[in-house]
């Protein structure tokens, strides 16, 4: 639930209550279909029960996966803003707070996550720990790398600016590679609609006249 964006206890409790209600309803539908119903009604009851048992968990997982994928896609822009803020002379903590404010109007997802990160830093949590916690919430490998870079910079005293620039460039290259991979899969994905939709019509066009001629010859015989 945290990975899908829920932090306040009230909606989390409401979602948990809804989960238990749907689970109990699903188990009731399963029991009813096994004990009382028969035939098609029993099969329908089993299907409804299984769907209800898994519905809330499935919605949460799909929502969390979609949110994490969107965050990973938008993260390079945030890293660029972080680099620009540090180039302007701001510290890392001040840069993170600044981009949280700047991103609020452009991307609610990035703005909320970086604002939560800034609040965690102001509450006394270490930079590497706060970034690692954010990486877990968003399931982001790029943020894991950033947390590692921050930990190395704090331990060795190196500059974060060049490292963040290299990270942003690496993330963009990875995004290009992913887009090229998806584009390469389009031809494979088109095979199924080609076979199911186009080839039958093509067979009708090519073989239809020949079959009609054969039918006429057979009628004459």
For residue 161, give the nearest of 103, 84, 75 by alpha carbon: 84
C-alpha to C-alpha distance for 66 and 76, rounded to whole angstroms: 17
Question: Which residues, at least 6 apart from 8, have a Cβ–Cβ distance to it below 8 Å?
Answer: none
pTM here is 0.64
> For the segment 143-194, what is each residue's pLDDT rounded down to a tens digit?
787 777 777 777 776 666 776 777 777 777 777 787 788 777 777 777 777 7
> For the segment 90-144, what is each residue's pLDDT rounded down to a tens digit?
777 788 788 888 877 777 888 888 888 888 888 887 777 888 888 888 887 777 8
pLDDT on residue 78:
80
Residue 37 has pLDDT above 80, yes or no: no
C-alpha to C-alpha distance for 189 and 182, rounded to whole angstroms: 10
Hey, CA dihedral for 92, 98, 102, 103, is it positive or negative? Answer: positive
What are phi and psi for residue 6, nearest 5 degrees? -90, 130
C-alpha to C-alpha distance for 161 and 179, rounded to whole angstroms: 27
175: which 2 tokens?
């995004």
């Amino acid at each position: 639930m945290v990975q899908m964006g829920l932090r306040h206890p009230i909606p989390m409790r409401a979602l948990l209550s809804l989960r238990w209600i749907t689970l109990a309803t699903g188990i009731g539908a399963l029991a009813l279909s096994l004990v009382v119903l028969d035939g098609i009604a029993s099969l329908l009851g089993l299907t409804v029960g299984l769907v209800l048992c898994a519905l809330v968990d499935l919605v949460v997982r799909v929502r969390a996966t979609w949110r994490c994928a969107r965050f990973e896609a938008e993260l390079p822009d945030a890293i660029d803003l972080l680099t620009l803020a540090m180039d302007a002379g701001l510290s890392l903590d001040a840069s993170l707070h600044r981009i949280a404010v700047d991103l609020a109007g452009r991307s609610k997802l990035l703005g909320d996550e970086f604002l939560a990160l800034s609040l965690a830093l102001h509450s006394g949590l270490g930079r590497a720990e706060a970034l690692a916690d954010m990486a877990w919430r968003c399931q982001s490998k790029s943020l894991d790398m950033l947390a590692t870079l921050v930990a190395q910079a704090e331990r060795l005293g190196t500059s974060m600016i060049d490292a963040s620039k290299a990270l942003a460039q690496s993330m963009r290259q990875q995004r290009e590679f992913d887009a090229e991979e998806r584009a390469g899969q389009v031809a494979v994905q088109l095979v199924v609609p080609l076979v199911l939709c186009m080839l039958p019509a093509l067979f009708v066009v090519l073989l239809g006249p020949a079959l009609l001629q054969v039918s006429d010859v057979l009628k004459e015989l």
